[in-house]
């Protein structure tokens, strides 16, 4: 595990400390989770952009054409 020193504006530090306390976790754990969440969001965005670039509208339409034209079950209908 690594240790880092960061500088936070007082208002951010205060809010982070309060939220961590409300969540019954340490400030370190709260910040580690926040960083992990941000990393996850950014890597997911990159992954989805790469997948979208490989997409094909023609292949999508071909896949949709294979779906049978039947009414959905009652529990699966939109109201």
Cβ-proximal residues to 27 (8 Å cutoff; 6+ apart), any chain: 16, 17, 20
Provide the residue ranges of all domains of the chain, joining segments of one domain with +: 10-67
DSSP 12-66: HHHHHHHHHHHTT--HHHHHHHHHHHHHHHHHHHHHHHHHHHT--HHHHHHHHHT
2-6, 11-15, 20-24, 40-44: least confidently modelled range: 2-6
Looking at residue 30, its pLDDT comes to 97
Closest CA to 17 of 8, 9, 26, 6: 26
pLDDT (mean) for 57-68:
95
Q: Quote the pTM value.
A: 0.64
């Amino acid at each position: 595990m690594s240790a880092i020193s960061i500088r936070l504006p007082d208002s951010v530090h205060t809010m982070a400390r309060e939220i961590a306390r409300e969540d019954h976790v340490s400030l370190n754990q709260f910040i580690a989770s926040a960083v992990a969440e941000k990393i996850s969001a950014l890597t997911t965005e990159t992954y989805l952009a790469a997948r979208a670039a490989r997409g094909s509208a023609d292949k999508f339409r071909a896949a949709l054409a294979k779906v049978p034209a039947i009414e959905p079950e009652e529990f699966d209908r939109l109201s």
